[in-house]
């Protein structure tokens, strides 16, 4: 299996993809309402897929292998809950709404913080914990495809 298919590489690629979308959003002008809505919807879908595969597959596997990761995993779940709340607000909102851009901005900042913790602290622990990151990557890719087909 190629390196890109391992769990950590897959999650890191998701992080880069979403960061790029947030940057694109920032570059849109005030009058680009339709483009903003479309991009925000793409961001929300990508984050929802990502959080789901982490919560269903990656986090439980890491929790089982590493007591050291417990606090980080708990924090990550709380961060996911906050992001899901903003995602729900954005999905129901319109770019014409007063706080729409602010919500996208705050979501981006929360995700940036979350990514730094995952990549800087959680992923190194996962690598040392003896996880089968290739098998996890395969399982996560299949689940992500299943979820994407229902969205």
Q: Which pLDDT does position 128 carry in this prediction?
A: 93
pLDDT for residue 3 is more than 90: no
Alpha carbon distance 63, 67 (integer Å)? 6
State mean pLDDT over 38-51: 96
pTM reported for the whole predicted model: 0.93
Residue 2's pLDDT band, with cuts at 50, 70 and 90, is very low
Measuring CA to CA, how many Å separate 42 from each of 46, 49, 50, 123, 126? 6, 11, 12, 25, 28
pLDDT above 70 as % of the chain:
97
Average pLDDT, the chain: 93
Comparison of pLDDT for 3 and 108, the residue scoring more: 108
Question: 80-130 pLDDT, tens per residue?
Answer: 999 999 999 999 999 999 899 999 999 999 999 999 999 999 999 999 999
SS3 content of the chain, % helix, strand, coil (to 5): 85, 0, 15
∠3-130-147 over CA atoms, to 5°?
55
């Amino acid at each position: 299996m190629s390196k890109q298919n391992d769990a950590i590489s897959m999650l890191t690629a998701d992080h880069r993809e979403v960061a790029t979308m947030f940057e694109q959003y920032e570059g849109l002008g005030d009058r680009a309402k339709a483009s903003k809505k479309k991009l925000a919807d793409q961001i929300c879908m990508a984050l929802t897929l990502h959080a789901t595969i982490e919560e269903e597959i990656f986090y439980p596997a890491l929790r089982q292998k590493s007591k050291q990761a417990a606090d980080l995993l708990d924090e990550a779940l709380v961060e996911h809950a906050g992001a899901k709340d903003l995602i729900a607000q954005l999905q129901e909102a319109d770019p014409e709404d007063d706080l729409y851009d602010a919500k996208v901005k705050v979501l981006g900042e929360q995700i940036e913080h979350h990514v730094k913790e995952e990549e800087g602290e959680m992923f190194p622990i996962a690598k040392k914990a003896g996880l089968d990151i290739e098998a996890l990557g395969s399982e996560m890719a299949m689940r992500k495809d299943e979820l994407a087909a229902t969205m």
